[in-house]
Amino acid sequence: MRIKFFFFILVLFLLALSGVLAYILDGKQSLHLYLLEGLIVFILVYLIVFYNKIVKPMNTIGSGMELLREQDFSSRLSRVGQYEADRIVNIFNRMMEQLKNERLRLREQNHFLDLLIQASPMGVIITTLDGDVSQLNPMAVKMLGVRPEEAMNKQLGQIDSPLAAELAAIPKEMTSVVRLNDANIYKCTHSSFVDRGFKHPFFLIERMTEEVMRAEKRAYEKVIRMIAHEVNNTTAGITSTLDTVEQALSEESGMEDICDVMRVCTDRCFSMSRFITRFADVVKIPEPTLSPVRLNELVSMCKRFMEGMCNDRNISLQLECNPEVGMVRLDVSLFEQVLVNIIKNAVESIESNSDNMQKPGEIIVRTATPVSVEVIDNGPGISKEVEAKLFSPFFSTKPHGQGIGLVFIREVLSRHGCTFSLRTYNDGLTRFRISFP
């Protein structure tokens, strides 16, 4: 633009000079005047040629620079008929073609990566440099258990999700295995990638629940079967011997006390056999036989069954059924055992803390839509340390607990395809939530 401006200034100066000379030498016939006028005309003709050869190609190249600045890689420059300028135009057009192909390749690559992230079975959460969530894929949304709008542009610690709280505690460039209160196990990695010179943090979440559960089950199945086999064989021999000895001693006089001891030992052996049989039953859970069942009726029946136990302990058992909840496909006998175990655990939790409770114990069994069942109690609650171990085999907070009740619940609900969680919320109430697929 400056070259064109200077060019026109020079043309105007020459025209003005020609006019001045013509005015000064008006009426005078001089050879020098004609030579000077001819020189000025020659310079003007040369400037026109100069404009077509140099200034005009420069304007064309300048237009190309504007296209490049606006990233319009689809446009091309036309040749101007000047050799040096055409060389620059050819190089510019090849550069624009390469930039266009590179942009197209990057767009296709980014589109492919976006599709891959969206369809990935692993959860991906990308955060800003300040730690706010900027992007998360559908699997991450499902794992967090929240809606996308509840997580976007928030710190992980501000999201109402147990998994988000665990992720917020993982240091950078570290990997941690997280076990949540819904029996799910995740392998979480906190890393970063470099984009435009900046490190962008992200979290990669891999679900390991099925693999860990299968490994745990294989381990405790083998141990339980071996222990059950040895204990049952041993107790069978002992009880047989004790019965024989008791029968022999009962015929003798003065042996009543010893016979009583023999019967106590026999009862203890049977108790031991029943104890180990309960463990063996956990690994023999049958596959569920699914059939359409009215969920409200099933829950109501379990409530009536557990009313006696609750009344004996002065605990209020209430039922809140949503009439919109209809038929659900489940195994009635297995699911009844699940609900009975959950209510029984709630009763025992309230009973263990009855001396410190300021109001009577209360349990609410509630159905809701989308189809779900929730058992709520106002017991002492569950600490964060205990939450991660709740569904682990043989873990129990009860003094004489065996740690198989929640394992049984986990196995049955998993085979029904249900999602579930056991957690104490900020209102102090403990909720066992079961959601049907």
**Long-range CB contacts (within 8 A, 24+) of 389-395:** 389/179, 390/181, 390/183, 390/422, 391/183, 391/422, 392/179, 392/216, 393/216, 393/220, 394/220
pLDDT at residue 1 greater than cutoff 60: no
Query: Closest Cα partner for 203 from 214, 217, 188, 215?
Result: 188
CA dist list (Å): 97 to 23, 80, 100, 107, 123: 57, 19, 5, 15, 38
What's the pLDDT tens digit per position in 224-281? 666 666 666 677 777 777 777 777 777 666 677 777 777 777 777 776 676 666 666 6
User: pLDDT class for 375, splitting at 50, 70, 90?
Assistant: very high
CA–CA separation, 299 and 320 (whole Å): 10
Choose from 38-47, 193-202, 368-377 the range with maximum mean pLDDT: 368-377
- Cα 300 versus chain centre, distance: 35
Name which residue leads in pLDDT, 51 or 349.
349
Q: What percent of the chain has pLDDT over 90?
A: 2
Tally of CB atoms within 10 A around 114: 12
Q: Is the peptide bond before 171 cis (omega within 30 degrees of 0)?
A: no
CA–CA separation, 373 and 219 (whole Å): 31
pLDDT of residue 373: 92
CA–CA separation, 314 and 310 (whole Å): 6
Q: What percent of the chain has pLDDT over 70?
A: 69
pLDDT of residue 347: 87
pLDDT of residue 401: 61
User: pLDDT class for 129, splitting at 50, 70, 90?
Assistant: confident
CA–CA separation, 295 and 195 (whole Å): 52
pLDDT of residue 415: 84
Stretch 397-404: mean pLDDT, rounded?
Answer: 64
Q: Looking at domain 120-208, which of 3.40.50.360, 1.10.1520.10, 3.30.450.20, 3.40.1160.10 is its CATH number?
A: 3.30.450.20
The full set of domain ranges for the chain reads: 1-107, 120-208, 212-281, 291-435
pLDDT at residue 356 greater than cutoff 70: no
pLDDT at residue 188 greater than cutoff 80: yes
User: pLDDT class for 52, splitting at 50, 70, 90?
Assistant: low
User: What is the average pLDDT value for the chain, to the nearest integer?
Assistant: 78
pLDDT of residue 405: 75
pLDDT at residue 189 greater than cutoff 80: yes
What's the pLDDT tens digit per position in 279-306? 666 666 777 888 898 998 888 888 888 8
Q: Quickly name the fold that domain 291-435 has.
A: Heat Shock Protein 90 (3.30.565)
User: pLDDT class for 332, splitting at 50, 70, 90?
Assistant: confident
